[in-house]
Amino acid sequence: MDKFNTRATIKNTSFLSTFMDRTNDGKKKLSYRTKRWVLIISIHLLFFLSFAIDIQVLEGTLNGSRFLGFHMIDIFSTMQLYLATYQLPINMIIGTVTIILLYLFVGGRSYCAWVCPYGLLSEIGEKIHNTLVNKKIIKSRTFDNRIRHFFWLIFLVLSFTSGYLVFETFNVVGILSRFIAYGWSVALSWVLAVLLIEIFFSRRAWCKYICPIGTTYGYIGRISATRIKWNDNCDHCMVCHDVCFENQVLEITKAKYDKQREEKNITEEFIVGADCTLCGRCIDVCHADALEFDFRLKSLI
């Protein structure tokens, strides 16, 4: 991907080229997409090997696991379990608090971009979807992404009223995670159905509009320390908007904000929107080096 000579929009860039990036002095480097994919594959390889040959490094699934003996429990699973059974075993409390503290530090929805196995599949689906849209074979459909808060609430209410973890029947993340650790299941056909909806109907629909796991991590992201930071090297080319499937968080990059910034002499700002997954795609494609990862611990305290 040569973002300095061509705008690295979805249309201008092949999928494979997004795995390599360049510095402005021409050196090649791995893109954040590559780093994320390596991490996701490594995490799930550890799940698989811990079960298959009993290496006991990362046992369980993304719903609940033990990493070198430390319990880690998905926050939304804990909420569902409590509402369904009114019980919270001590290991679940410890595991959930561990995860909350971890994501307060590394960024709420970084789970979606750096851990979730469905996110990786969904990125491939996104590329196919965008290609079909560019060739005018299908239309791009978008909805109000605030609908995700409605799904979040509905799945919790269903746990409370039914006494079951209803969402787990539909949870593509849990289904994939169990498949990787323990093997084939017919529930994978649901994952395929969701992926096909994303390819032919709406870009990243599960992640953007439905998944209550991502929504929960988004709530943590509002006050998490790791964020993307924007600076005024930006020339408002809007390439970052083009590649970001949650581009409502990138309003900050639009030229219309310049006057307010000039008045207040602001040269840097954090992207604080809860929907940002910290995937780093915007950093990968920015030709002006106007975006970077940063910690905002100071400004939080």
Least Cβ distance, residue 236 to ligand SF4 (angstroms): 5
Residue from 172, 191, 199, 271 in contact with ligand SF4 (CB under 6 A): 271
Cα–Cα distances (Å) from 299 to 78, 270, 291, 296, in that order, read: 30, 10, 18, 5
Toward ligand SF4, which CB reaches closer, 64 or 214? 214
Strand, helix or coil for residue 227: strand
Least Cβ distance, residue 266 to ligand SF4 (angstroms): 15
Least Cβ distance, residue 151 to ligand SF4 (angstroms): 19
Instruction: Report 226-255 residues binding ligand SF4 (CB under 6 A).
Output: 228, 234-240, 244, 246, 249-250, 253
DSSP label at 274? T
Check if the beta carbon of residue 285 is closer than 8 Å to that of residue 8.
yes
Least Cβ distance, residue 272 to ligand SF4 (angstroms): 11
Least Cβ distance, residue 204 to ligand SF4 (angstroms): 10
Strands (E), 41-93: 58-60, 64-67, 70-73
Q: For residue 288, state whether it binds ligand SF4 (rule: CB under 6 A).
A: yes
Range in contact with ligand SF4 (rule: CB under 6 A) among 35-43, 160-168, 207-215, 277-285: 277-285
Check if the beta carbon of residue 30 is closer than 8 Å to that of residue 50.
no
Q: For residue 120, state whether it binds ligand SF4 (rule: CB under 6 A).
A: no
Q: Is 220 exposed, middle or buried (0-12, 13-18, 19+ CB in 10 A)?
A: buried
Q: Which two tokens stand for residue 22?
A: 């360049």
- State the Rg of the chain over Cα: 20
Toward ligand SF4, which CB reaches closer, 81 or 243? 243
Dist. CA 212–CA 219, nearest whole Å? 11
Check if the beta carbon of residue 172 is closer than 8 Å to that of residue 204.
no
Toward ligand SF4, which CB reaches closer, 38 or 255? 255
Dist. CA 261–CA 266, nearest whole Å? 5
Range in contact with ligand SF4 (rule: CB under 6 A) among 44-52, 130-138, 210-218, 286-294: 286-294
The candidate with the shortest Cα–Cα distance to 33, out of 22, 47, 20, 43, is 20
Least Cβ distance, residue 230 to ligand SF4 (angstroms): 6
Least Cβ distance, residue 285 to ligand SF4 (angstroms): 6
Residue from 282, 294, 295, 300 in contact with ligand SF4 (CB under 6 A): 282
Least Cβ distance, residue 231 to ligand SF4 (angstroms): 8
Range in contact with ligand SF4 (rule: CB under 6 A) among 72-80, 126-134, 176-184, 271-279: 271-279
Bridge partners (DSSP) of residue 271 are 228
Quote the Cα angle for 279-222-104, to 5°.
75
- Indicate if the alpha-carbon torsion angle 203, 207, 210, 215 is positive or negative: negative
Range in contact with ligand SF4 (rule: CB under 6 A) among 20-28, 135-143, 202-210, 278-286: 278-286
Q: For residue 112, state whether it binds ligand SF4 (rule: CB under 6 A).
A: no
Summarize as ranges the residues that interact with ligand SF4 (CB under 6 A): 228, 234-240, 244, 246, 249-250, 253, 271, 276-282, 285-286, 288, 290-291
